[in-house]
Structure 1
Amino acid sequence: MENKQLVKNSKFLALVLRHDPGKIGVELDEAGWVSVDVLLAAIKARGRQFDRGELDQVVAQNDKKRFEFDETGTRIRASQGHSVPVDLGYVPIEPPEALYHGTATRFLESIFGEGLRPGSRHHVHLSTDAETAVKVGTRHGKPAVLVVAAARMLADGHEFFRSTNGVWLTEQVPAEYLSRLPG
């Protein structure tokens, strides 16, 4: 499958598995899983060409590893980023001293006033490196990288989770735990 089609399929899969499963008439279970067979049949019924080989390729080649199969390979879900109610079953884990969040400079005043909030998603997404945060911030405009004092947040009672694709998650980041990375 050419890269353009791979990206298109990945975006469609993200829409269905993270935000709007009803768009193609499927339901996610409480942990976000859906049967691969049910998913592919629903996609086909909507007139899209998307077979198991293409699905495997999207899961394997997605640069952010957004999707995962269960241990049997018969169910699939998004690793994080849902705006629909799911419980991914992640357990709290101790974060590194600092984590990073990429945003656009135009949002900084609001963020430093209100902190980071998940918006329509379940959690705020954080990374372990500034380079990833720059890429995320660039998607929204002129990038700015925020440093999150994760160890201090943990000590103050905030919980952190790590998704299967390595994205760090927390419910919110109050402004007092944020600083801007110079640059």
Structure 2
Amino acid sequence: MSDVVRVSKKLSWLLRHGAGEKGLAMSADGWAAIDDVLALLEIDRPALDRAVERNDKNRLQVEGSLIRACQGHSLAGMPVTVEALEASWRRVHPTGSLWHGTTPAAVPAIRRDGLRPGRRTHVHLAPSPDSHVGKRFTAAVLLRIDPTDLVVFEAPNGVLLTRHVPPAAIKWG
């Protein structure tokens, strides 16, 4: 694994899941001081910049002296809030189908309960079946979602997010 990938994974983990555990001060919409992140991860600014620039899913966002993960935050142990994240994203009104990749084992629960974010703040959706953002490459089941009655947001990296997809919005077959 290259140093860039290693640093990118550390940054993504810290900013999406580990801020509370590591004591990183973070705003409710996920922003943290770059200097604090550098000190916690024991990396330098050029390494951080390379990891941000080369991240294949553009998961990380830098503005001035601040950095954040665009989306994908855990709920437990993180200082982010659903409301603050949504306020920082763009509300969109998709007219075509959206997509969500999952596993065969998850299908019975999805049929019953719809798509729930689990331990994350939001359900991730993709704008197209071949999108490289918003769904896992390893997904064996690709679900088509009707967004008509959903409140959908777009993160800066193009991932579409919603709080919940009810079973009726999932188009099977």
The question of a shared fold, defined as TM-score above 0.5 by the shorter chain, is answered with yes
Shift of 1:135: 6.2
More moved, 83-92 vs 170-179: 83-92
User: What's 1:13 paired with?
Assistant: 11
Structure 1 segments of 4 or more deviating over 4 A?
none
1:64-75 equivalences in 2 (<5 Å)? 64-70=57-63, 72=64, 74-75=65-66
Kept in 2: contact 1:64–1:165 (CA 8 A)? yes
Larger Rg: 1
User: What's 2:28 paired with?
Assistant: 30
Shift of 1:174: 0.4
Shift of 1:107: 1.1
Over the residues paired in the alignment, what is the CA RMSD in angstroms?
A: 2.0
Does 1:166 find its partner at 2:158?
Answer: yes
User: What's 2:119 paired with?
Assistant: 120
Shift of 1:57: 0.9
Change (3 A) 1:4 1:135: farther
How far apart in 1 are the matches of 2:23 and 2:113? 37
Change (3 A) 1:96 1:8: farther
Change (3 A) 1:161 1:78: same
How far apart in 1 are the matches of 2:170 and 2:51? 35
Of residues 159, 169, 172, the one that matches 1:177 is: 169
Stretches of structure 2 that go unaligned for 5 or more consecutive residues are none
TM-score (norm 2): 0.86
For the residue of structure 2 that corresponds to 1:76, the secondary structure is strand
Higher-helix-fraction structure: 1
User: What's 1:82 paired with?
Assistant: 73
How far apart in 2 are the matches of 1:4 and 1:112? 40
Question: How many residues of Structure 1 are paired with residues of Structure 2 in the alignment?
Answer: 164
How far apart in 1 are the matches of 2:31 and 2:95? 29
For the residue of structure 2 that corresponds to 1:130, the secondary structure is coil
For the residue of structure 2 that corresponds to 1:26, the secondary structure is coil
How far apart in 2 are the matches of 1:55 and 1:16? 13
TM-score (norm 1): 0.82
Stretches of structure 1 that go unaligned for 5 or more consecutive residues are 45-49
Shift of 1:94: 0.9
Shift of 1:22: 3.3
Does 1:40 find its partner at 2:31?
Answer: no
% same residue: 35
